Structure 1
Amino acid sequence: MNAILHPGPLLLAFLLASLVLAATPGPGVLYIVTRTLAQGRRAGLTSVAGVALGNLGNALGASLGLAALFAMSSWAFTVVKLAGAAYLLYLGFKALQPSSAGPNGEPLPAPALGRMFRDGFFVALLNPKTALFFAAFLPQFTDPAAPVLAQSVALGAVFVLIAACTDSAYVLVAAWAAPRLGGFQRGALVGRYASAAVYTGLGLFTAFSGGRAAK
């Protein structure tokens, strides 16, 4: 990566800006924190990995011109946006389903980590505003004298790595706080309803937000 991204003021500015943006709470942080409160630290960290892979897909898509397609085609943007909104609303509905105990009161197994990873991946990937964010943000730190595509991909990967680190910190804090909400069962109940509210709110926001603003 050193051959693509040369140390210097431009790279330092990118790292600082990425850290500030990644650490600022937003929809992704809300998703990860509520998942952690509802299902624990492993679920939160698994969701972080899924979100990171989805964001990396958007970064690659932006680098390869997906954002340009969204900018030119309102139809393509709308289709992806509504698909993401529908998936978030589905997750909100699923979060409300009781899952704390089986027919005889025994605890039910937590959802498979693979499913949590998949949910995080699609929540991030089906957000076209993320691709537009990368398309607007990454060129600000690209050296036109070097290969632009390679730089864009590398910068996107670095941003996703930074965001994964800050998201993981949020997970650890949420996992620490969950038992202090009055016991883990109560924390899980609060997290379940918070998850449903966050998923539904994000789904409605995604469906009815009109502009192609950045992330």
Structure 2
Amino acid sequence: MTFNLLLSLSIALTLVAAAPGPGVIMTVTRTLQFGLTAGLLVVAGIVAMDLVVLMATLAGLNLLTLANQPGLLTLLMVIASLVLIVLGIQSWRRPIILRLDEGHASVSHFMAGIAVSLTNPVLFYLAFLPVFIDLDALTLHDQIVLLALISGVLTLVLGAYALLAAKLKTWLFEQHPERQLWLNRISATVLFILAITLIHSTIS
């Protein structure tokens, strides 16, 4: 892959990652609710799941066939939907926290990232990447570069959202902790909507 191709792909991936989609919303809301560590764990989950999908694509796995038949992918989506519902219930019931100390790391934040990643079209890379490159013509070196590029762009963009949300958290809640209640309700509603979207896409 040439430098110009990598540059074009980087710009396109940055624009896609920066768009206010489910991944950005999950990163920001979890950071506002639980702190920067939680937001970065969400980012790690999103990046990990996206890389799994990309590696499956590069390995020649027919995700389209897998998506249209009962199987592992359907099971993963059902589990992801249940994770989102459970997280939504937890967010709805979360009490107001008067101290805004950094929260502890929890595997639930990482799982939230994985789950929300599945709410995006699983075949995204099959539709997006061929616009720039021929996946069948990639060498092993090209594939490693592509994996590094995508994981790097996603980490930097979503990580920046997490950092901004962490700064915003103090401004929002330091003097008005009751605002957390509204955030919890909004976050729960978003999670329920994402779960319903995922269930609908799985059924259809």
Of residues 39-48 and 13-22 in structure 1, the stretch that sits farther from structure 2 once superposed is 39-48
State the shift of 1:23 in Å. Answer: 0.8
Distance 2:170 2:158 in 1: 20
Give the counterpart of 1:13 among 8, 12, 18: 8
Q: Deviations over 1:125-175 (max 9, x none)?
A: 6x1755410122223322579535653453243123212111111112212
Residue 116 and residue 188 in structure 1: after superposition, are their counterparts in 2 closer, same or farther (change >3 A)?
farther
- The aligned residue for residue 200 of structure 1 is 192
Give the counterpart of 2:162 among 144, 167, 171: 171
Distance 1:162 1:146 in 2: 23
- The aligned residue for residue 147 of structure 1 is 138
Distance 1:121 1:128 in 2: 10
Residue ranges of structure 2 left out of the alignment (5+ in a row): none
Contact 1:62–1:68 (CA<8 Å) still a contact in 2? no
Q: Deviations over 1:74-122 (max 9, x none)?
A: 3235433322222211111122233557xxxx97x97641424432343
Distance 1:80 1:42 in 2: 25
Q: Is structure 2 residue 89 aligned with structure 1 residue 93?
A: yes
Q: What's the secondary structure of 1:113's corresponding residue?
A: coil
- The aligned residue for residue 62 of structure 1 is 57
Identity %: 26
Distance 2:161 2:85 in 1: 23
Of residues 73-82 and 166-175 in structure 1, the stretch that sits farther from structure 2 once superposed is 73-82
Give the counterpart of 2:124 among 130, 133, 158: 133
Q: Deviations over 1:12-66 (max 9, x none)?
A: 2211111111111100111111101111222212221222222222221222215
Deviant stretches of 4+, over 6 Å: none
Q: What TM-score do you get using the length of structure 1 for normalisation?
A: 0.76
Give the counterpart of 2:26 among 20, 31, 45: 31
Contact 2:38–2:106 (CA<8 Å) still a contact in 1? no
Q: What TM-score do you get using the length of structure 2 for normalisation?
A: 0.80
Matched residue count: 201
Residue 189 and residue 121 in structure 1: after superposition, are their counterparts in 2 closer, same or farther (change >3 A)?
same
Contact 2:48–2:114 (CA<8 Å) still a contact in 1? no
State the shift of 1:205 in Å. Answer: 1.2
